[in-house]
Structure 1
Amino acid sequence: MEETAKKDDPINPILKAGEEKDIGNDGLKKKLVKEGEGWETPKNGDDVEVHYTGALIDGTKFDSSLDRGTPFKFKLGLGQVIKGWDEGIKTMKKGENAIFTIPPELAYGESGSPPTIPPNATVQFDVELISWTSVKDICQDGGIFKKILVEGEKWQNPKDLDEVLVKYEVCLEDGTLVSKSHGVEFTVGDGYFCPAFAEAVKTMKKGEQVLLTVKPQYAFGEDGRSAVDSEGAVPPNATLHIALELVSWKSVAHITKDKKILKKILKEGEGYDRPFNGTMVQVKLIGKLEDGMIFVKKGHDEGSFEFKVDEGQVIDGLEKTVKTMKKGEHALTTIQPEYAFGSSESQQELAVVPANSTVYYEEKESWEMNAPEKIEASGKKKEEGNVLFRAGNIERASKRYEKAVRYIEHDYSFNHEEQQQSKLLKVTCNLNNAACQLKLKDYKQAEELCTKVLELESRNVKALYRRAPAYIQLVDLDLAEADIKKALEIDPGNRELKMGYQVLKEKMREYNKKDAQFYGNIFAKMNLQQANAAKQEQRTPMIIDSKA
């Protein structure tokens, strides 16, 4: 991004409406009538569109595009207009209106423009910059000019290793069609069709559409090209016009400095965070050999595969890859033997990996499961949590219940039956996790989990019963009593609820006694302080203001 002009910049001054300043040192003046939009200004080579009115210094009008009702278009900075225009209009923003006072040296000079403009005339132009189309010399040698027709998204550009998907149409200068495609994919560094393709896409953003003017050195040179299949011939030393759209691309990058782990992003992830050492990650992956044989498949049939980063639970190449990934990212990784299974043969889940094998892993997050897979994975995590809970491993059980809920957290795409299954799993897992939190003495978390259940089932007795002791520990006794009373209304014969109510009443009596004692002590101190203050007042003589 280029910096905006500084206030004292003589070439491109910042003006407020009504102000006039010099542009450069040759007598060109600019008076701002109306401010434009944004901060960008056109550059040399851009196609600009303006409305203008030209007049002599005494006010005599000699030309106006407004009178003709048609904007004037020209290429900026290429000498197609007087020098004062080329210098002045490149200081303007889109929508800006300014008056330029242009001395003869930058206007029509000693000869003028008879009969309307006399020799050595200073002229004024009232100019409105309607718009412009950027035209760039992308190789800085006049070989490829790029005109942006549709702006792209964000700011990233493809690199040499990336795989791009483009649409294009190639024509000769006379309009003869040479080649056309509605979608072709290629690696940027390898190029495609002619050298201009690779050079151009490296300057483009996703979704950008451009028109390229390609000189022979970036096309087919002095030899040209014969017709190939359905594609037309290109004559020697031919200039090409190429309409090119960068539809999308897959980022490809070396993960290690020795370039022995290559990652291709098939689907971008979310946010900015990536796993770090010690993080527990969930992935779905498929491992293949160079001949395509699958030697491992995890997280597809039995729910997401979990491992802790930097704990040596998987090969080094996988750990290094995962640490570069975002949540939800889907990637294809090529891992050379040094970061895979090395020089030894390895027996894997589905096949033997020969010594010195390069392996390929396709990895993706569990969010890519379909609804039945998510429900199945959630159920398995719930059962794992139940086993851990019964074994007394409460913290690990809690984490299993949390993971079970995460699988089905967003169930709006489920059908009716799947939503009912999802609801039952959410209720069960959140209730079980609430029981874990009560044992772990995280009463606030227990209360929140029970509240989530009650949002799904307002008459769930277990949720009311488990939220009540959380409220008691949080000293919200009125809320605890309300929960137990509501639970007893739903299930009046429940002995556990009745016992819980007795415990609550005893707690309330204890708190009431403590409150009475506490406030009694406060009132006693207040009464003593008031008595002492009264005695002090009796001893203090009244002071009379003699000036009254």
Structure 2
Amino acid sequence: MAMALPLLSASRRWDVELLEGGSDGEEEAAEDSGPRLPWGIRKTLLQEGASEDRPVTGDEVKIHFDVRLLDGTAIGSSKESGPFEFVVNQRPREIIQGLEIAVQTMKKGEVAEFTIAPRFAYDDLGSPPLVPPDATLVFEIELLQWQNKLDVLGDGRAIKTIQQRGSGSTRPRRGQDVVVSLEITSRKGEVLQKKSATDHVVGEKDFGPVSDIISEVLQTMVAGERCKVLLRRFAGDKIVDSAHSGATVDVLLERVYVTSDLLPEQSGLLIKKLLSDGIEDPPRDADLVELRVDRVFTGPQPTQTVLLEPKVLSFSLGSGDVCDALDFAAAAMQVGEEAKIVCRSPLNFSDVQLGLASDLLEVTLQVKLLSVRRESPGPGLLLAEQCKDRAAKAFKEGRYRFALEVYRRLKVAFHRDEAAKQFCNLCELNRAACFLKIGRPHEARKACSCVLDQDPENQKARYRRASAEFQLSNYSAALHDLHALLKQQPTNSEARTLADQVRKAQRAYSQEAKAAAARMLGDRSDKTAAQEGDSEDGSESACVRFRALARNLLPCLPSLRALKT
């Protein structure tokens, strides 16, 4: 007769985790028997299985079993009542732990015999009248099939069933880029939504009312996995709307991107999404690279194709012969590597060869680095001067980020060379100019301070640091640098003009501060003021006298501030 296998205290006391590797049982066990069995469970393979996968935690398995005592007494079978079903490692546990452990070592269609010690069965309690205390059980199990089912939200709204296991090893996190295909079908069979190979950021609202559920589902998947999710709606539900009640979502996670921000400031303007790895080290400045651009898409959701046929570009890295985005991308790639490069304005990615106009806000380039010809470096400083000239040209053309990157590479290459210290200071000054142009005054101030630490009399460093302080509204610090500069060079017209601008901004700030202080003190209505000001003996209240004193002091605020500075 069929037998239920209840949970007893023994299962709770002897919880164990399976380890990778072969069985610790008899030599009869198959070499590839899955996770290693703990001491107390012995497996004998009777019939090979047909699949490569094995059940894991959360899988709903269906088995046939015969169970007997060591003396051969039969105590249960599923053959007459039909297959026995349970969920592996479900809490609270529904079956003895030894049976759960056993099926995790089996393949679909496999038949095996397991000898299970009392501690993984019913221990010293037994299960009267069939199982005596301290009984060792012998199971003959046939694994018929299994399905992985997961309650994604934990409340029955979204039940996930794996249709195809993936090959990936990591699950995407919220905010990570993936490629996903999905189809949502209503309970009546109507297709509500369909997406194919869509780039998606986990957590974004790309899939309408069910976006939050899709986000949670994706975080339980690995690359290559396909699953179905059954949606259920509760009364007054705000997560699953009426249109999706009873709907089925077929989800395929095609790829989980490894992404990297290629700009030093990590601004998100140039993102690389790795498609396939390459070999060798990335190219260096002046190396001749061959880069193939396979496809070009425009817009945040890349739908419109600009480039119809692949185009191979040959250029010297750092030469400025291609747009900034491609130069930066090539510098971060290996030979044979394929990637998607997402470029966003204001980064320069306009390119006549690729048909990219300067007014585009976002472009996605699919590229492959075909080859790198390593150029033997010439005289160091001579080559560096040539690179600096290219950066200066790019600066004049408004390609500030490209010039900034060239100066950064030069500084990294020569920062340990004592003979090139003056050259490195010049690169740092030019980096400060680039920072000011792209609205990064903190970095500009830091670069100028580095130069002034080594050369306190450097006039350009003084002027550019003053410009950075001005952008940061640090007017006193800006005037301090400008006064020091004008002592060195009294006829510097640019410094005088900037000093006038700083003083004007400082006066405007003082006026705004006075107005804010007045608003904070506040003027009551005439009626309220009269009520506060009149007392029984006709004298003014302390409140009115204080306000009058404050109004008299307000005009003195600028002079007090100047005295303090």
Could you state the TM-score of these two structures normalised by the residue count of structure 2?
Answer: 0.45
Pair member with larger Rg: 1
